[in-house]
Amino acid sequence: MIEITEESCNAELDALALSEAATALRYRTVRFELQNNNVTATLDTSDGVAGDATRITDCVKAIIDSSGALYELVSRRRMLGTVNYLPLVEIKATVLGERLLRCLRTDIDRITDLYPIEEFNPYFKLFRQLTMPGAVGRTGLDSIESWSGSVVCDYAHRQRQLVDEELEDFIKHLGAVVEAIRKEGRSKCFKWGIKAFEKPAKENYDSLVSMIRANLAACHHLLVLRIDLGYAQHYCDPALSGEQAIKYEEVRQHRVKLIRFLKRRLPKGAYRGYALKLEFGLDKTYHYHVLVLLNGDVVREGATISKLIGEYWKQYITEGKGGAYNCNAATYKDSGIGSVKYDDAEKRVILETVVAAYLTKPDYYIRMTKTDGHRAFWTSHPPEIRAKRRGRKRSKVEALPRAQPRPRPLTHH
């Protein structure tokens, strides 16, 4: 067990907040399928519109933060040791360059025909502007004569069939696309828009971390539950389920019933707090990410209690339309859930910088469906009265709020 001190814990929190933990733990993408009148959770490995949109968003973010050339033209003759092989050159790409090529081969219309996500996702909008026909004049590419968004996408799809002159033209256009993304993504106007969009997520994160710390200060031992709650794909599609399809108002009513259950039906003395995040996935529509805090000295078996909550959601709250994924029954490389004690610095760091960051990450698409002014994130109030300290003297955990990490925003649907 690692001993918590003000200096060591603050340093560890800050270091992890700036490292890969800040990208948040990518919990497995889950979809709920209706099979024999029973809703079951399945790991989603399909290449749906959500995956395409996320891949494009993450790629644009990475390009904005990158530097240097992503592509170079190399001699195929020198690489293969033959003088007769045609074409004579080929494009060599970095890992990020390969990611961009894959994005350029994506069927963008497949995404935008279903959802107007350009209006809500600035990173996707920037990429879309660059790949639309006639994009010159809107993205700083005026200096490249005859360039249009459709040309670079066409080249990307036909890359293996291109001859030398086309490859030389293609790499010029690729470089222009990369520089245009960097220029626009680093502009004051774009940064201002991103900052304004991410502000609520930062406020939600601060609120959640404060609630977690207050409960640990009062309880010293928490049992942390993570559950994903959603709806069977059948009931997400009105074309399949008709009048039985899940509606936004139903989703809001289900949240109220879930909170009432958490407060009143769990073992006596166990309940400490909760956090709920409503998100809208392009493939699975409405779903909730749930964090429940229980008194670890009163109850154990987090996976069992999570399963009970999930079953109640499925059978009684959603009346058979809902599904649940029990994160406590899964295995993660860096786990910040389950039993979390006051003096377990390592697990507390993961709980704050990974689990809490994932739960509060910005959702680009919930605004497409929810009513203006409606919230999409809820937490319980932190305990008002701190418990009296007993036993040995504890370290200065009260100083931790001054070192709250600020995780980078994510998309993951």
> 202-206 contacts: CB < 8 A, separation 24 or more?
202/406, 204/277, 204/360, 204/377, 204/379, 205/356, 205/357, 205/360, 205/404, 205/406, 205/407, 206/404
Q: Give the C-alpha distances (Å, rounded to integers) separating 314 from 179, 187, 292, 337.
A: 49, 47, 17, 22
Q: Is the pTM of this model over 0.85?
A: no
CA–CA dist 385, 269 (Å, integer): 16
How would you classify the pairing of strands 30-35 and 38-43?
antiparallel
For every one of its 413 residues, what pLDDT tens digit does the chain have, with 9 covering 90 and above? 334 444 444 444 444 443 333 333 333 456 667 777 777 766 655 556 777 888 899 999 999 999 999 999 888 755 445 555 567 788 999 999 999 999 999 988 877 777 677 777 889 889 988 877 555 444 444 444 445 566 888 889 898 888 888 899 999 889 989 999 999 999 999 999 888 888 888 999 999 999 999 999 998 999 999 999 999 888 888 888 888 888 989 999 999 999 999 999 888 889 999 999 998 877 678 899 999 999 999 999 999 999 999 999 999 999 999 999 999 988 777 788 999 999 899 899 999 999 999 899 887 767 666 666 788 899 999 887 554 555 565 554 443 443 344 444 434 44
Q: Which two tokens stand for residue 183?
A: 């220029």
Amino acid letter at 83? Answer: V
From 285, 286, 288, 284, select the one nearest 274 (Cα to Cα).
Answer: 288
What's the confidence (pLDDT) of residue 25? 34
Asked if residues 55 and 131 have their Cβ atoms less than 8 Å apart, the reply is: no
From 216, 192, 105, 186, select the one nearest 150 (Cα to Cα).
Answer: 105
**What residues pair up with 338 in beta bridges, in sequence order?**
224
| Contact partners, residue 396, CB within 8 Å, separation at least 6 | 5, 6
Give the torsion sign (CA, 53, 54, 55, 61): positive
CA–CA dist 170, 72 (Å, integer): 11
First to last CA, the chain: 35
What's the confidence (pLDDT) of residue 388? 53
